A and B are shown apart, each in its own frame.
Chain A
Amino acid sequence: MTRDEIKDMILEIIEDIDEEAEFDQLDPDAPLRDQLDLDSMDFLDIVMELRKRYKLQIPEEEYPQLATLTSCVNYLEPRLKDA
Chain B
Amino acid sequence: MADYQLIIIGCGLSGLAAGIRAARFGRRTLILEQHTVAGGLNSYYHRRGVLLETGLHAMTNFAAIGDKRAPLNRLFRQLKLSRRAFVTHEQIGSEIVFPQLRLAFSNDFSLLEAGIAAAFPGCMDRFARLVRAVDAYDPFAPAPWRSTREFLSSILAEPLLEDMLLLPLMVYGNAEEHDMDLGQFVIMFRAVFQDGFFRPQGTIRDFLDMLVAQFRRFDGEIRFQSPVASIIRRHDRVAGVVLADGEEISGDAVLSTVGIPGTARLAGWDLDVAAHTGRMSFMETIALVPARSMAELRHDRTIFFYNLEPTFSYQRPDDLLDVSWGVICFPGNFQGLEAADPAQVRVTNAANYELWQRLEDDDYRRAKERWSAKSLAAAGKIIGNSPADIVYQDSFTPLTIERFTAKAEGAVYGSPRKIRDGRTPWPNLFIAGTDQGYLGIVGAMLSGVTIVNQHLLGS
Q: B216 within 8 Å of A by Cβ?
A: no
Q: Which of B46-97 contact A (CB under 8 A)?
A: 65-66, 68-69, 74, 77-78, 80, 82-84
Known contacts A41-B453, A44-B457: A17-B77 contact under CB 8 Å: yes
Q: B26 within 8 Å of A by Cβ?
A: yes
List the 6 shortest-distance A-B pairs measured between CB atoms, nearest first. Answer: A37-B68, A48-B25, A52-B26, A20-B66, A52-B25, A18-B77
Q: Are A44 and B453 in contact (CB under 8 A)?
A: yes
Encode contact with B along A49-71: 1 for CB under 8 Å, 0 otherwise: 10110000000100000000000
17 additional contacts (CB under 8 A) given A19-B84, A41-B77, A41-B453: A17-B77, A17-B80, A18-B77, A19-B82, A19-B83, A20-B66, A20-B83, A39-B68, A39-B69, A41-B78, A42-B74, A44-B453, A44-B458, A45-B77, A48-B457, A52-B26, A60-B458
Interface residues on B, range: 10 to 19
Q: A38 within 8 Å of B by Cβ?
A: yes
Chain B positions within 8 Å of A, measured between CB atoms, are 25-26, 65-66, 68-69, 74, 77-78, 80, 82-84, 449, 453, 457-458
Please indicate the chain B residues that have their CB under 8 angstroms from the CB of A19 in the complex: 82-84
A18→B74 CA distance, assembly (Å): 9
Q: How many residues of A contact B (CB 8 A)?
A: 17
**Cβ of B84 to closest chain A Cβ, rounded Å:** 6
Q: Number of contacts between A and B (CB, 8 Å)?
A: 37
**Cβ of A33 to closest chain B Cβ, rounded Å:** 11
Please indicate the chain B residues that have their CB under 8 angstroms from the CB of A45 in the complex: 77-78
**Cβ of A24 to closest chain B Cβ, rounded Å:** 16
Q: Are A39 and B457 in contact (CB under 8 A)?
A: no
Known contacts A41-B74, A45-B78, A52-B25: A20-B68 contact under CB 8 Å: yes
A-B CB contact pairs (8 Å), 27 listed: A16-B80, A17-B77, A17-B80, A18-B68, A18-B77, A19-B82, A19-B84, A20-B65, A20-B66, A20-B68, A20-B83, A37-B68, A38-B68, A39-B74, A41-B77, A41-B78, A41-B453, A42-B74, A42-B77, A44-B457, A44-B458, A45-B77, A45-B78, A51-B25, A52-B25, A52-B26, A60-B458
**Cβ of A37 to closest chain B Cβ, rounded Å:** 5
- One of B66, B83, B449, B458 near A41 (C-beta < 8 A): B449
Name B449's closest neighbour in chain A (CB-CB): A41
Please indicate the chain B residues that have their CB under 8 angstroms from the CB of A41 in the complex: 74, 77-78, 449, 453
**Cβ of B28 to closest chain A Cβ, rounded Å:** 14
Please indicate the chain A residues that have their CB under 8 angstroms from the CB of B77 in the complex: 17-18, 41-42, 45
A51→B457 CA distance, assembly (Å): 11
Q: Are A37 and B69 in contact (CB under 8 A)?
A: yes
Please indicate the chain B residues that have their CB under 8 angstroms from the CB of A44 in the complex: 453, 457-458
Encode contact with B along A8-27: 1 for CB under 8 Å, 0 otherwise: 00000000111110000000
Name B68's closest neighbour in chain A (CB-CB): A37
**Cβ of B68 to closest chain A Cβ, rounded Å:** 5
A22→B132 CA distance, assembly (Å): 32
**Cβ of A12 to closest chain B Cβ, rounded Å:** 14
Name A42's closest neighbour in chain B (CB-CB): B77
**Cβ of A53 to closest chain B Cβ, rounded Å:** 10
Please indicate the chain B residues that have their CB under 8 angstroms from the CB of A60 in the complex: 458
Please indicate the chain A residues that have their CB under 8 angstroms from the CB of B78 in the complex: 41, 45
Which of A38, A41, A51 has the most chain B CB within a 10 Å cutoff? A41
Please indicate the chain B residues that have their CB under 8 angstroms from the CB of A42 in the complex: 74, 77
A19→B84 CA distance, assembly (Å): 8
Which of A20, A37, A52 has the most chain B CB within a 10 Å cutoff? A20
Name A18's closest neighbour in chain B (CB-CB): B77
**Cβ of B405 to closest chain A Cβ, rounded Å:** 28
A51→B25 CA distance, assembly (Å): 9
Please indicate the chain B residues that have their CB under 8 angstroms from the CB of A48 in the complex: 25, 457
Please indicate the chain A residues that have their CB under 8 angstroms from the CB of B453 in the complex: 41, 44
A20→B65 CA distance, assembly (Å): 9
Name B84's closest neighbour in chain A (CB-CB): A19
A37→B25 CA distance, assembly (Å): 23
A11→B69 CA distance, assembly (Å): 20
A37→B67 CA distance, assembly (Å): 9
Please indicate the chain A residues that have their CB under 8 angstroms from the CB of B84 in the complex: 19
A44→B78 CA distance, assembly (Å): 10
Please indicate the chain B residues that have their CB under 8 angstroms from the CB of A52 in the complex: 25-26
A44→B449 CA distance, assembly (Å): 12
Please indicate the chain B residues that have their CB under 8 angstroms from the CB of A37 in the complex: 68-69
A48→B78 CA distance, assembly (Å): 12
A39→B450 CA distance, assembly (Å): 13
Please indicate the chain A residues that have their CB under 8 angstroms from the CB of B457 in the complex: 44, 48
**Cβ of B302 to closest chain A Cβ, rounded Å:** 28
**Cβ of A35 to closest chain B Cβ, rounded Å:** 12
A45→B79 CA distance, assembly (Å): 11
